[in-house]
Structure 1
Amino acid sequence: MTRNASPRKQGVLLINLGSPDSTDVGDVRRYLHEFLTDPRVLDNPAPIRHAVVNLAILPTRPKESAHAYEQIWTDEGSPLIIITEKVATLLRERIGANFDQDLPVVVGMRYQNPSTRSALQKLAGLGVEDLFVVPLYPHYAMSSYETAVAKVKDEARDLGLDMSLTFQPPFFDDPDYIEAMVEVAKPYLEEDYDKILFSYHGIPERHLRKSDASGCHCLQSEDCCQKASPAHATCYRRQVHATTWAFTEKAGIPPEKWDLAFQSRLGRDPWLMPYTDKAIEDYPGEGVKKLVVISPAFVSDCLETIEELGMRGKEDFLAAGGEDYRLVPCLNEHPRWIDTLEKFVKTFVDGGFHDARPTVPVART
């Protein structure tokens, strides 16, 4: 049984990235416009950002992206949204079975539908006064975790909600999260393989520098991720390394059997390296014929995992001479992942997050 430490009505909000409403080019354009005009995603000054989006990206990218979404779309709709809704259903069932109170669990997306605003309105309508928000991003980045937290705060303020907000901190090294990933990956690692590639979503190098409150640590030396620093609390690069180190230790993978790379770069500015697509193309020439790929930055399968890694990545690897390409699914609805989310909720209900609410800076342009 779980004790309710708060006399106020409690609830849970799961926040994920979002998806177009359909594969129609117009819906994809609306999604990309909202996503790319977010100042925490494209952090150029507003006039430059809007010019780049409206003049350089939106004239051609929506049609290309719509085709990519068509490759992964299901009869139910967007995989990311369908999976997130199923996770919410499973979490509700766990709460109903193991908690001594009713906690509504609602899904909201940072971009498009179901919107963050509509999710907050639904929770307010259910009488929720004390809200636990779980950004479904294991790692801190201004273009993912930070923008999701800021969006919830902005919408709650604009709606005039009398609602206390508590945020799940990034869980990149949480033992249950790591164990859940290892459990999902186990069948893909039982067969022989030459290398496992940890592919994380890329971000521009300048995002690391902007997130470094000290202003003098991130990317200042080759081993900055190995040196202890308060900057690691908001350092995406350090946190994805920490996830990889924890996973490989838990799974017993020796250093020579794994690599780390970054996918999905955009534009010409320097992004975190090495690049996933180049690594995949180069591996066969380096003797890596059997490759396992995992993407721990995503907890739900989506365009970046299913199409970019699962389809294009596999095609490129085999075309370069590779023989066996295995993509590990995301955590999705795996029971160990639901266990982890249930633990997060229990910590909130028991009052364990009072000193763990992240500070989110104002958008920097």
Structure 2
Amino acid sequence: MEAKSDIGIILMNLGSPDSTAVPDVKRYLNEFLMDKRVIDYPYLFRLLLIKGIIVPRRAPKSAEAYQSIWWPEGSPLIVLTKQLQNAVTHDLDMPVEIAMRYGNPSQEAAYENLLKKNPNLKEVVLLPLYPHYAMSSYETAVEHAKSVHKKKKYPFRLTVVPPYYKEPDYINALAESMRPYVSQDFDHLLFSYHGVPERHIHKGDITGKHCLKVADCCHVDSPAHDFCYRHQVHITAELVAEKLKIPREKWSVSFQSRLGREEWLKPYTATQLEELPKQGVKRLLVACPAFVSDCLETLEEIAVEGKHSFISSGGDSFTMIPCLNIHPLWVAAIVKWMGALQANN
């Protein structure tokens, strides 16, 4: 039965190439890396760097990586986001669409599809599938959605769900999705988050004097925390570890997917995977909570490359814990949040 609510929902994820063909991967990488919130260099320098050097070199290798994890139905990230859309739609009386920050389906297509379902739509709720605030993920997704909304002069208002990195329903869903894995014998749990340049952390510090400047800055109260990716990912890890009753010495945080030679958040996941076996860690679990849906960065970078690095360095067993994907508690959390918004309107 078609939803009759005057509120629509958009689940917004990162995006993916349309196929594993090199031209499609090039098109996707150009759109992604030319985003000024991803690589925040001056436009002309960014243009020369991305289109002249990085993408021509990176696209063929990225195409091979995508081919190694591509599903018969298409991109894992797109397929999983559609599955989440279907699961949420099943439990809500509101229309639900998906949008990608880069690639397809676009933000405009999501807005148009919602209007087709209900021309009298009064409000669209945007749920970025990024639990943590980062300039290169959550912020760029939200600002893009706002820009399209303003440019097209859509009649409905746009409401954005804030980062939910410490929301009890999210933490509970994440912890319970991990519980079957941590219930088995393991030596260490590594929370591997997508990295960002330290420059981004400084740039997002609204106080200008806290992030990466104050000792143990992530645990010293500051208004900067509302926009600090580093603080938020550490809080998520701490809350999940506490809920799962994992001793502090058995878990740690690292950062993956570094691009370029400048300083990014440390420690680097690649380094940790080589060093942990030397420290006596033979059975490793890796979780990637920066991602809600499994994607290239989890299925290939961690589950394939990361595993190879760890085992080659002396590890015995390596398990990547899947992302939330369509875990029932994650679906229930979204349904609960959206239902509360509907009840308040």
Q: Same fold (TM over 0.5)?
A: yes
Superposed, which structure 2 residues align to 1:62-211 within 5 Å? 62-95=59-92, 102-126=93-117, 127=119, 128-211=121-204
Amino acid at match of 1:152: A
Q: 1:46 aligns with which of 43, 46, 49?
A: 43
For the residues of structure 1 that align with 2:141 and 2:122, how far apart are their CA atoms?
A: 20
The answer to whether the Cα contact below 8 Å between 1:124 and 1:161 also exists between their aligned partners in 2 is no
**What is the DSSP-based 3-state SS (H/G/I as helix, E as strand, rest coil) of the residue aligned with 2:80?**
helix
Residue 346 of structure 1, CA deviation: 1.4
Amino acid at match of 2:340: T
For the residues of structure 1 that align with 2:301 and 2:68, how far apart are their CA atoms?
A: 10
Residue 248 of structure 1, CA deviation: 0.7
The answer to whether the Cα contact below 8 Å between 2:18 and 2:24 also exists between their aligned partners in 1 is yes
Residue 289 of structure 1, CA deviation: 0.4
Instruction: Name the residue aligned to 1:356.
Output: none
For the residues of structure 2 that align with 1:152 and 1:335, how far apart are their CA atoms?
A: 27
Residue 123 of structure 1, CA deviation: 1.5
For the residues of structure 1 that align with 2:291 and 2:42, how far apart are their CA atoms?
A: 28
Instruction: Name the residue aligned to 1:246.
Output: 239
The answer to whether the Cα contact below 8 Å between 2:5 and 2:94 also exists between their aligned partners in 1 is no
Instruction: Name the residue aligned to 2:22.
Output: 25
Amino acid at match of 1:112: G
Instruction: Name the residue aligned to 2:56.
Output: 59
1:150-177 Cα offsets, whole Å, 9 max, x none, are 0111111111211201111100011111
Q: Alpha carbons of 1:210 and 1:351: their partners in 2 closer, same or farther (altered >3 Å)?
A: farther
Q: Tell me: higher relative CO, structure 1 or 2? Use CA pairs within 8 A at least 6 residues apart.
A: 1
Residue 348 of structure 1, CA deviation: 1.4
Instruction: Name the residue aligned to 1:265.
Output: 258
Instruction: Name the residue aligned to 1:218.
Output: 211
Identify unmatched segments of 5+ residues in structure 1: 1-6, 96-101, 353-365
The answer to whether the Cα contact below 8 Å between 1:8 and 1:130 also exists between their aligned partners in 2 is no
Amino acid at match of 2:333: T
**What is the DSSP-based 3-state SS (H/G/I as helix, E as strand, rest coil) of the residue aligned with 1:39?**
coil
Amino acid at match of 2:129: L
For the residues of structure 2 that align with 1:284 and 1:237, how far apart are their CA atoms?
A: 26
Is the aligned partner of 1:237 residue 2:230?
A: yes
**What is the DSSP-based 3-state SS (H/G/I as helix, E as strand, rest coil) of the residue aligned with 1:305?**
helix
Q: Alpha carbons of 1:104 and 1:8: their partners in 2 closer, same or farther (altered >3 Å)?
A: closer
For the residues of structure 1 that align with 2:211 and 2:6, how far apart are their CA atoms?
A: 41
Amino acid at match of 1:290: R
Paired positions, count: 340
For the residues of structure 2 that align with 1:89 and 1:8, how far apart are their CA atoms?
A: 17
For the residues of structure 1 that align with 2:84 and 2:184, how far apart are their CA atoms?
A: 29
Residue 8 of structure 1, CA deviation: 8.0
The answer to whether the Cα contact below 8 Å between 2:11 and 2:126 also exists between their aligned partners in 1 is yes
For the residues of structure 1 that align with 2:30 and 2:80, how far apart are their CA atoms?
A: 24
TM-score (norm 2): 0.97
1:123-155 Cα offsets, whole Å, 9 max, x none, are 223322201100000000010000000011111
Residue 221 of structure 1, CA deviation: 2.2
Identity %: 48
Amino acid at match of 2:115: A
Amino acid at match of 1:344: W
What's the C-alpha RMSD, in Å, of the aligned pairs?
1.2
The answer to whether the Cα contact below 8 Å between 1:8 and 1:129 also exists between their aligned partners in 2 is no
Is the aligned partner of 1:342 residue 2:339?
A: no
TM-score (norm 1): 0.91
For the residues of structure 1 that align with 2:63 and 2:26, how far apart are their CA atoms?
A: 9
**What is the DSSP-based 3-state SS (H/G/I as helix, E as strand, rest coil) of the residue aligned with 1:325?**
strand
Amino acid at match of 2:341: F
1:175-219 Cα offsets, whole Å, 9 max, x none, are 111111111111111211110000000000111111111111111
Is the aligned partner of 1:309 residue 2:302?
A: yes
**What is the DSSP-based 3-state SS (H/G/I as helix, E as strand, rest coil) of the residue aligned with 1:12?**
strand
For the residues of structure 2 that align with 1:135 and 1:238, how far apart are their CA atoms?
A: 19
Runs of 4+ aligned structure 1 residues displaced above 4 Å come to none
Identify unmatched segments of 5+ residues in structure 2: none
Residue 343 of structure 1, CA deviation: 1.4
For the residues of structure 2 that align with 1:260 and 1:345, how far apart are their CA atoms?
A: 31
